[in-house]
Structure 1
Amino acid sequence: MFYCKSNISSEIDWLKDHTYSIQLHEFDDHSDLYFLNPLLQNKRIVFLGENGHGVAEHSQIKTKMIKYLHKELGFRVLAFESSFSDCSLCFYQQYQLDIRQWMKHSLFKVWHTEEVETLFHYVKETQLSNQPLILTGLDIQPASNDYITGKFLSKMFSNMDKSYGEKIVELEQEMLYQYVNSRSPSISKKERKRKCKEWMKLYQEFLFLLDKNSLELQNKFGKDAFLLVNRTLQNRIFLMQMISSHFMKAIKIRNKAMADNISWLAQEMFPNEKIIIWAHNGHIMKQSRRLLGFLSTFSYLPPKIKEFSYTIGFFMYSGQAAENNRSVYEVQQSDQDSIEFRIKQVGHEIGFLDISQQRKMPQNRWLFKHTYTMHEGKQLSLIKPSACYDGLVVCAKTSPPKYINLN
């Protein structure tokens, strides 16, 4: 259904009064983000989405927002939709790595880009300040095949007995091989389940060892490192469950595990810190079953965390983007009754609209009912904006990232 011209006109007039412009050409000037202050004053977790992992402007906008949130609003933890263990343990070894090594060992390849490299330079600079920005991850899937996590685990378990260190390295290597080949037809489903069950038991035994020697290990390695290793082993058990399950169940396990990691970061690791989450729109959506067919990561969070969260969905009207394999595609322009078309009509290259503070009226009723959007710039979908996000960012035109080969 298309709205008549007068309805569109009244909607655009309302949007002009409620949509803010974000300026990327003023990258080091964050004053244009002042509108975030009243929206986030009582929020502890901010979720920054992206309508596909291969959109340069989304990474640039998020980097600008992260700087503002860190400098002006006191957010000190940044958690990526990437490996919890690799991100966390690399952060504690960052001084042994240059920026690109740090990125390579921490993040999935979709974020090995110049745009994200800018963010890593900023994170590095903050380590010399009184308010360092801490980098961690959410995902149970490993990002690096260089055994960064395995080496750290080996160091801790070798402190108890050298044989434990050797055994955990062997287990990590087998886990990585199984993960990389988790969809290979050369291994039967029955055999994969048997192996995963066996490895879950071994990881559980290492958790028992960790608990048994907790005081000694915390004294030697510090409480934070001990907590991260403990959580890493629990994540490995979730990973074994994921790769031994069918596709839809695997998605559920992954999303729930990432939600559990967010809860753990907020309640156990950083109980007094404000946190920024970097993840795909599909993970941060409050309601996703209608669009994606399964519950989002956000859906699994406990109510007390949801209450103090603010989610921002990112969208694109035209231009290009890249698939996860880096192939470039054209963004399909959506029709006039879509989220992207409406906000684009305001005239901003990048527009931000808050939903959380709006009351329903004729000029904005589309925010409160099912409205068209172009999922990842490729597939026309229906979502209820007010039920899915607290705020929306729409880019009039996008481009693919500038990838860095970190092999």
Structure 2
Amino acid sequence: MTVLTAKPDVRPANPNFSSGPCSKRPGWSLESLADAPLGRSHRAKPGKAKLAEAINLTRKVLQVPVNYRIGIVPASDTGAVEMALWSLLGARGVDMLAWESFGAGWVTDVVKQLKLDNARTLTAPYGELPDLAQVDFSNDVVFTWNGTTSGVRVPNGEWIPADREGLTICDATSAAFAQELDFDKLDVVTFSWQKVLGGEAAHGVLILSPRAVERLENYTPAWPLPKIFRLTKDGKLIEGIFRGETINTPSMLCVEDYIDALKWADRLGGLSGLRDRADANLKVLADWVEVSGWADFLAVDPATRSNTSVCLKVTDPDILALDADKQAAFAKALASTLDAEGVAYDIGAYRDAPSGLRIWAGATVEVSDLQALTGWLDWAFSTEKAKLPQAA
């Protein structure tokens, strides 16, 4: 007989646990955006100043080396990654690493769209990493630092040699502002600010090392590049992109929101403060998993667990005895029940990932809200399990 867990008395003050766009910073309100230069050209002095401020604050908070360029580019992280792939690849072989859906998407772009015949793919199932010792750094290497849809991240940058021949192109969209990126080991870093800092969507950030700039200025791809991807003109880097002169028209409201989030991050102590908050949030969920009896991390190795996109699987034997479709339906029911109660929004697993839950635990989430959520997770599980015929 299934024992029902009592409905908790305490609710999360903020039920926004979506993995992107993720929750806004604590204390955020629309009044935070009052200084946005709305109705003005982004090419006017106020617009350029705001874009430059966003770039400078990004450098400060993320501790980006002074000789790396930072640019705001269109189309979110996807646009930033695509710009890098289409502009830089083809000069040498490339190793593509994939262990979840976004990494797999970059493999598709390189193999099926760019049709590079010198591409090598290293994959792993959800919950695991590929064998990083097998990466050939005489090639370019493309990988995600943090697998947003699997909750699996690389533990550090020690597997990347300092004397690599190829470029490392890193999709860091759910790792930036929560994990320590080793910029000395990274030649291209991309992210979208609607992820960890809870900014509004549609803008990407592209960070280039001197080695990446050298490639851009000395290599011309065999394929045509649309205007939105072009980073050079007459064989030279378009430096304006990295001073706030964006390729297309940005939303100054979104830029203001990003600046607000960066200033909040700076007040916390920058990257270390953000990382500490995310780590504390992960610990809440890890401690709960230890005693839950029905849930576990999708990440097999604790050293690779994400502290932002925490992906969980249901491990209760009665649920595992169901066929795959019914297991998936049960996980969806958990998420729907919590949504209906107004205690957790948008925490179902990503559509391409194994069934389960995905809970955002980045720095904009309060530890008290995650502590409150854990009781509701147990309540939803016992409630939904009691509805199953075998639970009687």
Please confirm whether the aligned pair reaches a TM-score higher than 0.5, indicating the same fold. no
**As a proportion of its length, which structure holds more helix?**
1
Shorter chain as denominator, the TM-score bin is under 0.3
TM-score, normalised with respect to structure 1? 0.26
